[in-house]
């Protein structure tokens, strides 16, 4: 429960703003945070309030970094410090990483040498301290150009395409799609299931006409069809017929996790991929390439629209 104390008068109001305009509580007072928008109900249910506050405060130190990205990393790495696996509260994991944000010791030391951490953490700074670890993670992502290259910054954090996809998807779940505190527009369970399947195919070669690893790879519509088969929905085989199967997402409406994104024209849809959130998709891009994560929009693209498959 959050207790809000109502103060009377202009001076008291200014004091209330200074005291209470911290993340989480600040949303109720109309305080402004530019780094990721309001938390969804999923975020409020999943993230401990102290961690949510730290993610929001630390994100502001890096222009263009969303607090949802920090929170998603915290979720994947340590369940926001709640994991009892080795290396979270003491020691290291098998890769030598430690703390709630799973830093390597030398990396943490290098980050804090270049980015002094705010007061309130451990003295000296510790990668096991939640505040120190989260602010250091923000600085590390900023150094790796997270504002302009999200997937590149996440790759620097953990060299795994599956990890990147997991973080991007989780971050999308943490952001309120309705624009208000604690509101959600939840995608269908089938959309999540399709994305989870697609995450498991990252790195598999592109193969024209391919329907999966047993055949040596996927083409674009083979990947999306297999992803939705895993979710219990049988789509047509080609990009053109998958778009025709709909239902079409209205132009301008926000995309949801699991939506299919299409490229081409009404009579020549030549490519399809699966949206995973935060402007990213999993795609089988073409000959000589592998299934990968990429932005779903880029300069000069011929994006046509999206569908949201349902049973």
pLDDT tens-place string over residues 70-87: 999 999 999 999 999 999
What is the pLDDT, as a whole number, of residue 180? 55
What is the pLDDT, as a whole number, of residue 179? 54
Question: What is the number of domains present in the chain?
Answer: 2
Same structural domain, 43 and 145: yes
Q: Are 282 and 291 in contact (CB under 8 A)?
A: yes
Same structural domain, 245 and 153: no
Is residue 115's pLDDT more than 90?
yes
Same structural domain, 116 and 211: no
Same structural domain, 236 and 136: no
What is the pLDDT, as a whole number, of residue 1? 33
CATH number of 157's domain: 1.10.530.10
Same structural domain, 170 and 238: no
Same structural domain, 134 and 88: yes
- Residue range 19-41, pLDDT digits in tens: 334 444 444 434 444 467 889 88
What is the pLDDT, as a whole number, of residue 271? 98
User: Final residue of a domain: which of 174, 209, 225?
Assistant: 174
Selection from 44, 36, 46, 39 nearest residue 69 by Cα: 36
Mean pLDDT for all residues in the chain: 87
Same structural domain, 162 and 206: no
Q: At what angle do helices 189-199 and 220-230 cross, to 10 degrees?
A: 130
Same structural domain, 257 and 229: yes
Residue 123 per-residue DSSP state: S
Report if residue 293 sits inside a domain: yes
Lowest average pLDDT, out of 46-50, 138-142, 178-182, goes to: 178-182
CATH number of 216's domain: 3.90.1720.10
Contacts of 211 (CB under 8 A, 6+ apart): 218, 222, 225, 226
Is residue 299's pLDDT more than 50?
yes
Report if residue 213 sits inside a domain: yes
What is the mean pLDDT of the segment spanning 240-252? 96
Report if residue 50 sits inside a domain: yes
Same structural domain, 64 and 165: yes
Same structural domain, 154 and 199: no
Is residue 96's pLDDT more than 60?
yes
* Cβ count within 10 A of residue 288: 7
Is residue 5's pLDDT more than 50?
no
Identify the band that residue 183 occupies on the pLDDT scale cut at 50, 70 and 90. Answer: low
What is the mean pLDDT of the segment spanning 179-196? 72
Query: What is the percent of the chain where pLDDT is above 70?
Result: 85
Q: Which domain holds residue 104?
A: 39-174
pTM of the model: 0.76
Selection from 152, 147, 274 nearest residue 202 by Cα: 274
What is the pLDDT, as a whole number, of residue 7? 30
**Terminal CA-to-CA distance of the chain, rounded, Å?**
39
């Amino acid at each position: 429960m959050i207790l809000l104390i109502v103060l009377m008068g202009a001076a008291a109001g200014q004091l209330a703003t200074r005291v209470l305009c911290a993340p989480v509580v600040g949303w109720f007072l109309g305080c402004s945070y530019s780094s990721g928008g309001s938390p969804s109900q999923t975020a409020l249910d999943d993230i401990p309030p102290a961690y949510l506050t730290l993610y929001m405060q630390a994100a502001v130190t890096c222009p263009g970094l969303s607090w949802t990205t920090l929170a998603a990393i915290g979720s994947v790495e340590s369940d926001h410090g709640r994991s009892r696996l080795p290396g979270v509260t003491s020691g290291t994991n098998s890769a030598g990483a430690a703390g709630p944000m799973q830093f390597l010791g030398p990396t943490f030391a290098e980050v804090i040498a270049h980015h002094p951490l705010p007061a309130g953490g451990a003295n000296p700074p510790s990668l096991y301290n939640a505040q120190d670890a989260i602010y250091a993670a923000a600085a590390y992502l900023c150094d790796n150009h997270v504002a302009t290259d999200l997937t590149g910054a996440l790759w620097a954090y953990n060299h795994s395409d599956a990890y990147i996809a997991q973080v991007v998807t989780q971050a999308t779940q943490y952001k309120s799609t309705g624009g208000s505190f604690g509101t959600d527009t939840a995608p269908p369970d089938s959309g999540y299931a399709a994305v989870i399947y697609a995450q498991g195919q990252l790195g598999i070669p592109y193969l024209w006409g391919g329907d999966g690893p047993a055949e040596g790879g996927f083409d674009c519509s083979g990947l999306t069809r297999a992803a939705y088969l895993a979710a219990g929905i049988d789509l047509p085989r080609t990009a053109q017929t998958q778009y025709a199967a709909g239902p079409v997402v209205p132009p301008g409406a926000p995309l949801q996790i699991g939506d299919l994104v299409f490229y081409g024209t009404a009579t020549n849809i030549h490519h399809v991929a699966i949206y995973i959130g935060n402007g990213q998709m999993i795609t089988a891009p073409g000959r000589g390439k592998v299934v990968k994560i990429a932005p779903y929009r880029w300069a000069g693209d011929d994006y046509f629209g999206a569908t949201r498959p349902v049973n």
